[in-house]
Amino acid sequence: MRFTALPSLLHLLPALSIFLDLQGVWGKPISHLSKCKLAQYPGPSNPSFETGDLTGWHVLSGTAFGNGSVTAQTSYWGGSFNQKGKYFVDSFVASGDPAIGQLRSDSFLASSYLSFLIGGGYDPVNLYVGLVRDSDGTLLKSQTGMNDEALVRVIWDTSAWAGQDVHLLVYDNNSGSSWAHINIDDVRTGCKALQDDNGLTFTVFGEANQPAAGSSSSCTLYAADPVRPQYHYSPYQGWINDPAGLIQWNGQHHLFSQFYPDAPLWGPMHWAHATSSDAVHWAERPVALYPPYPDNPQDTSGRWTGSAVKDAQNQLHILFTDFTDLALHPGSTEQVVSAATSSDGTSFLLYSQNPVIGTVPAGSSNGFRDPKVFQDPTDNSWKMVVGSGEGSQGKVHLYRSTDLVSWTYVGVLFEGDGSTGSMFECPNFFPLGDKWVLFYGGRSLGWFEVGSYNGTSFISETSGLLDAGPDSYAMQWYKDASGRNLAITWLGNWPTSKWPSRLNGWAGQQSITRELFIRPDGGLGSRPIPELVSLEQPASAKVWTQKKIGNTAVVLGQTTTARLRLTIDTASSTATSFSIHLFASSAESVLVSYNFAARLLTLDTSNAGYGQTGQWQPIVAPGSDGKLSLDIFLDHSTLEIFSSDGVVTSMRVYPRYQESQDIKIEASGQVVFDSISLTPLESSWC
């Protein structure tokens, strides 16, 4: 897939820093709460701008800051600003994005901890909130924004400078016209930096905890990051999107990802590479493909999404979209299909005669990308689907080859009616049972079509959403050595601007490995692969059988890395509905509720923290025996809900508070659970 709105802030970045000193400490509020008492001094004056102006703050230069940049706005196009109190500072409001300037606080004595709310553009060099030592002007710490307006709390351990005179510097030297401003609010010091006024402990953002490329410290550093998934693949730093090149080859599962290592933003695409013997525990491998012009960060040319097969020489054979930045290379073809091979599964050689498809077929004005190759049993040839579209209608092109090198255009395999998007990205096509399945991305969502195929022509019979939640896109299918149809999907925050993990240096993750099947209603279903039990800690599991739950909430446990399985006897239940609270505390929760009469599952994140807010409502049906099972995976910032009929609902969530770990159930009436189990899951990186 591609990104149509290119970030304007591509530039060379300094190496992202590593905070080894904090490893294993973050995430344990108690040790912080004793350490915070060691040095507590008042912070800067007017710390939350509640005077409604810059009293106590000083404009050092420029026009980006002034009394007019103190604002009481409460919402923007993407939701609520989440300021504390009435006012906050936004360097956009007074004079727009291009204005630059510097604002400093009064001086104060550094405490053990300092925290503040930050929003605005991502540009570590030119846009940040910094802590400066008065005596020598040293910039001790700095934090840039996330390319979102909403404010997220950053917490710094400032104990190394405790008692020294310091000030905050709000620095906007980005004169661009997009994401060239910074927002700040509610500076807090000492123990107050760690807890809100009700005594809840803030989630720690802004301590990067990134391992070096290829290092073995992922286990502890990932564990120290409160939003880093512990058993899902995420990049050690930078950005990932589409999973690509999925294959089981010589026993190993290979997962490649669209990757930009230099910033947690989309950029010139690399192929990150990970391998696994069980499709659960992934190990980071060297980057497989690099963009063609890596020395020029302004050049967005890159190696876009593609697929992998085993060729006749038992080589790993990759076919991918070669994207050329036409602004820098006028006259080129923007999107062509190229190939690369590997005989050792580690180093990849670009095919000397690239591209293998250099001419875009007619009727493809919206794009031509994401080749997915499969073996076609109808004529024993290689076939390839490529995403495309023209006007308001997405489409999928079909190609044929016998040697993976020379490709013949067959025709248009499928054309949408416009309702699922004008450009179909990441198409996949394969037989499943006695049906053929096509799925693709469009309108920021994944769509499936189940139907019949005769070697050239596909007729869809049943269609629907691949995932009922908002955060799954660019799913890729592969058939493993045992013949299972598996899939992994990108879990980004694609429909929104909310990417809080950017504060920790990374963005994007892949789903757990799922097995695909045809649902009882003819749609495409997903279920977690059985190998995931290897993450379970059965000795710590809590199990209930024949458990009846009514109007009094039952707390099952406190955790954010776990598997919660429930089987409901709908025939014996008299309740109209029940609700499961996840990532819950007195301040916030993710609500998963079920309405028996409507068979409606509702995922509600209206009050779930820093992430996207909303409601998603798939129909989820009990089996013919009246039983309905939910298999729920929680992983720090990830939620995947698999229901027994094959519907999956995925979402990224970012609780504000460390206490938001409760898992509890309540009902309107009585619900009979045949069984409930809550099982902690281990990190797959340790």
Ligand X SMILES: *[C@@H]1O[C@H](CO)[C@@H](O)[C@H](O)[C@H]1NC(C)=O
As measured in angstroms, the least distance from the Cβ of 623 to ligand X is 35
Report angle CA 666, 667, 672 to the nearest 5 degrees. 105
| Between 59 and 405, CB nearer to ligand X | 59
Stretch that binds ligand X, among 38-46, 51-59, 80-88, 228-236 (CB under 6 A): 51-59
How far, in Å, CA of 512 to CA of 488, rounded? Answer: 6
| Between 126 and 677, CB nearer to ligand X | 126
Please report where in the chains the tokens 């509905």 appear, as a residue: 577
Q: Is residue 66 within the footprint of ligand X (CB under 6 A)? A: yes
- For the beta carbon of residue 396, count every other beta carbon within 10 angstroms: 25
As measured in angstroms, the least distance from the Cβ of 653 to ligand X is 36
**Which residues are registered as beta bridge partners of 673?**
547, 568
Stretch that binds ligand X, among 452-460, 479-487, 552-560, 602-610 (CB under 6 A): 452-460
Q: Is residue 61 within the footprint of ligand X (CB under 6 A)? A: no
| Interactions with ligand X, residue window 117-136 (CB under 6 A) | 126
Stretch that binds ligand X, among 59-67, 241-249, 464-472, 593-601 (CB under 6 A): 59-67
Question: In this structure, is the dihedral angle defined by the CA atoms of residues 276, 281, 284 and 287, taken in order, positive or negative?
Answer: positive
How far, in Å, CA of 144 to CA of 232, rounded? Answer: 26
**Secondary structure element (H or E) that encloses residue 31, with its range:** helix 29-35
Secondary structure (DSSP) of 211-246: PPTT-S-HHHHHHT-TTS-SSS---SSEEEEEEEEE
Question: In this structure, is the dihedral angle defined by the CA atoms of residues 81, 87, 93 and 97, taken in order, positive or negative?
Answer: negative
| Between 398 and 466, CB nearer to ligand X | 398
664 DSSP assignment: E
- CA distances (Å), 28 to each of 23, 227, 320, in order? 11, 14, 44
As measured in angstroms, the least distance from the Cβ of 381 to ligand X is 12
How far, in Å, CA of 470 to CA of 448, rounded? Answer: 15
| Between 103 and 269, CB nearer to ligand X | 103
Which residues are within 8 A (CB) of 263 and not within 5 positions of it... i.e. 6 or more apart?
9, 10, 13, 122, 238, 239
**Secondary structure element (H or E) that encloses residue 569, with its range:** strand 561-569
Select from 31, 67, 343, 365 the one that contacts ligand X (CB under 6 A): 67
Select from 17, 456, 545, 546 the one that contacts ligand X (CB under 6 A): 456
Which residues are within 8 A (CB) of 373 and not within 5 positions of it... i.e. 6 or more apart?
307, 308, 309, 319, 382, 383, 384, 404
| Between 402 and 454, CB nearer to ligand X | 454
| Between 67 and 216, CB nearer to ligand X | 67
Select from 31, 457, 551, 586 the one that contacts ligand X (CB under 6 A): 457
Q: What is the arrangement of strands in the sheet containing 283-289, beginning at the earlier edge strand?
A: 283-289, 270-276, 252-260, 238-249, 506-507
Select from 250, 375, 454, 551 the one that contacts ligand X (CB under 6 A): 454
| Between 22 and 59, CB nearer to ligand X | 59
# binding residues, ligand X (CB under 6 A): 11
| Between 392 and 457, CB nearer to ligand X | 457
Q: Is residue 93 within the footprint of ligand X (CB under 6 A)? A: no
Stretch that binds ligand X, among 152-160, 269-277, 430-438, 449-457 (CB under 6 A): 449-457
As measured in angstroms, the least distance from the Cβ of 38 to ligand X is 34
How far, in Å, CA of 478 to CA of 307, rounded? Answer: 9
**Which residues are registered as beta bridge partners of 440?**
447
**Secondary structure element (H or E) that encloses residue 88, with its range:** strand 88-90
As measured in angstroms, the least distance from the Cβ of 528 to ligand X is 36
Stretch that binds ligand X, among 42-50, 451-459, 499-507, 551-559 (CB under 6 A): 451-459
Stretch that binds ligand X, among 448-456, 513-521, 545-553, 562-570 (CB under 6 A): 448-456
| Between 66 and 267, CB nearer to ligand X | 66
| Window 146-185: contact mask with ligand X (x via CB under 6 A) | ---------------------------x------------
Stretch that binds ligand X, among 290-298, 422-430, 450-458, 671-679 (CB under 6 A): 450-458
| Between 131 and 194, CB nearer to ligand X | 131
Select from 6, 22, 25, 59 the one that contacts ligand X (CB under 6 A): 59
Stretch that binds ligand X, among 26-34, 454-462, 556-564, 612-620 (CB under 6 A): 454-462
Q: Tell me how far the alpha carbon of residue 581 is from its chain's centroid.
A: 22
Report the DSSP pairing between strands 458-465 and 472-479.
unpaired
| Between 66 and 416, CB nearer to ligand X | 66
Stretch that binds ligand X, among 193-201, 419-427, 453-461, 627-635 (CB under 6 A): 453-461
Select from 345, 355, 455, 495 the one that contacts ligand X (CB under 6 A): 455
| Between 410 and 566, CB nearer to ligand X | 410
Which residues are within 8 A (CB) of 430 and not within 5 positions of it... i.e. 6 or more apart?
374, 436, 437, 477, 479, 485
> Exposed/middle/buried for 304, CB within 10 Å: 0-12, 13-18, 19+?
buried
As measured in angstroms, the least distance from the Cβ of 180 to ligand X is 11
Please report where in the chains the tokens 């579209």 appear, as a residue: 389
> Exposed/middle/buried for 353, CB within 10 Å: 0-12, 13-18, 19+?
exposed
| Between 94 and 535, CB nearer to ligand X | 94
Enumerate binding residues for ligand X (CB under 6 A).
53-54, 59, 66-67, 126, 173, 454-457
